[in-house]
Amino acid sequence: GGREPQGLAEKSPLQTIGEEQTQNPYTELLVLKAHHDIVRFLVQLDDYRFASAGDDGIVVVWNAQTGEKLLELNGHTQKITAIITFPSLESCEEKNQLILTASADRTVIVWDGDTTRQVQRISCFQSTVKCLTVLQRLDVWLSGGNDLCVWNRKLDLLCKTSHLSDTDLSFVTGSHIGELIIWDALDWTMQAYERNFWDPSPQLDTQQEIKLCQKSNDISIHHFTCDEENVFAAVGRGLYVYSLQMKRVIACQKTAHDSNVLHIARLPNRQLISCSEDGSVRIWELREKQQLAAEPVPTGFFNMWGFGRVNKQASQPVKKQQENATSCSLELIGDLIGHSSSVEMFLYFEDHGLVTCSADHLIILWKNGERESGLRSLRLFQKLEENGDLYLAV
């Protein structure tokens, strides 16, 4: 978390959308209740299952299709600080998927994803593990707190960094090319930067060293995600889209939410979903539009990032971009209102819709009503057929 972005707060009132949301597909919801405290994390296990974890220290495995509670994993005594899945490798003889959870009780528990069995419990940490990352190509996982540890599947400690600093870690990112970047939450500097865990891939063309502006104390990135073209960042209340190709911000919503945006994700259909402390989830569509020369170039957080231009001042507006450059806009196409408190995270299932978790202890399953209706009909006729009650008229 970070402080309110003061510099961006004053302008552009919150965009709203009325009750008529024709493009919003989520017309059905199911409230799932099992947690007794803030639900902070959701992680997808497979095509139809997901796990939720939160401050009550329990992990619940759900069926995303029916909303059925499948498993409850009890083991942590304090709130869970990180959860991640460790998918089984094809080569590996052990088929079971593992779930790793880190907790404020300074343990990491490795769970069997199909049963409630604890595979192993690691409690040799000096401090709370704040983040977990799996590097699947190496078949290792990392835990980060005050120390950074690298573990293999067999849960042997491979290496351990020295004490990093007094500050807490926020992100650990494994990039495409074999870099490991550890982001510090407070001053946005790279605390550690290691390369070449393995032979770097041949293509290093686009990759530049990413360095952070020093003056960004007043803003914080809460979350970011990327795809092949763009990097999407949730900064304060706003959303920013940075094009890797054009190396500039192509779209932004400075006040996308009433309050800080906590999580964003990109959907396959050029849609972006964001959730926020204000308790709402918003669905955005990235629309291309012809940029008029006169239109003011969006300013925002990405201006402060110097990609290859390190010492640029943050406050200085970016130069007018090249003429006729296509720019995009983020159009609000719908919002989901259900939670009564901050929406911590969400998870998108291609087939089953959206799962959101919130500080109101609830998890809501948002579904496409029409599609669900069709599926129910399908199941109805299947059941009729099973019962032998189906007569097809010729």
Q: Which positions touch other proteins (CB under 8 A)?
A: 18-22, 24, 27-31, 33, 67, 334, 337-340, 362, 364-365, 367, 369-370, 372-374, 376-381, 383-384, 390, 392-393
Q: Do 364 and 30 contact (CB within 8 A), yes or no?
A: yes
Q: Nearest 5°: phi and psi at 41?
A: -130, 140
* Strand ranges inside 34-186, DSSP E: 39-44, 49-54, 58-63, 69-74, 80-86, 98-103, 108-112, 118-122, 131-135, 140-144, 148-152, 157-160, 169-174, 180-184
Closer residue to other proteins in complex, CB, 34/314: 34
Which is nearer to other proteins, 97 or 341 (by Cβ)?
341
Q: Output 34 or 119, the one with its CB closest to other proteins.
A: 34
Q: Which residues of 172-192 are buried (b: 16+ CB within 10 A; e: fewer)?
A: bebeeebbbbbbbbeebbebb
Residue 171, Cβ density class (10 Å: 0-12 exposed, 13-18 middle, ≥19 buried) = middle
Query: Which letter does DSSP use for residue 278 in this model?
Result: T
110 Cβ contact partners less than 8 Å away, ≥ 6 residues apart: 86, 98, 99, 100, 118, 119, 120, 121, 122, 155
CB-wise, 306 or 369, nearer to other proteins? 369
State in angstroms the smallest separation of the CB of 282 from other proteins: 14
> Among all chains, which residue has been given the structure tokens 């994390």?
41
Comparing CB distances to other proteins, the nearer of 33 and 160 is: 33
Beta-carbon contacts of residue 163 (< 8 Å; ≥ 6 apart): 146, 147
Tell me the C-alpha distance between 261 and 218, whole Å.
15
User: What's the closest the beta carbon of residue 350 comes to other proteins, in angstroms?
Assistant: 16
Give me the least distance between CB of 381 and other proteins, in Å please.
6
Taking the complex as a whole, how short is the minimal distance between the CB of residue 321 and other proteins, in angstroms?
36
CB 339, min distance to other proteins, A: 7
Strand, helix or coil for residue 372: helix
Q: How far is the CB of 21 from other proteins (least distance, A)?
A: 4
Smallest separation, CB 380 to other proteins (Å)? 5
Contact in structure between 41 and 80 (CB atoms under 8 Å): yes
CB nearer other proteins, residue 33 or residue 287: 33
Rounded to the nearest whole angstrom, what is the least distance from the CB of residue 360 to other proteins in the complex?
8
Alpha carbons 70 and 64: distance in angstroms, whole number: 10
Nearer to other proteins, 263 or 367 (CB): 367
Burial of 65 (0-12, 13-18, 19+ CB in 10 A): middle
Closest to other proteins by CB, 176 vs 379, is 379
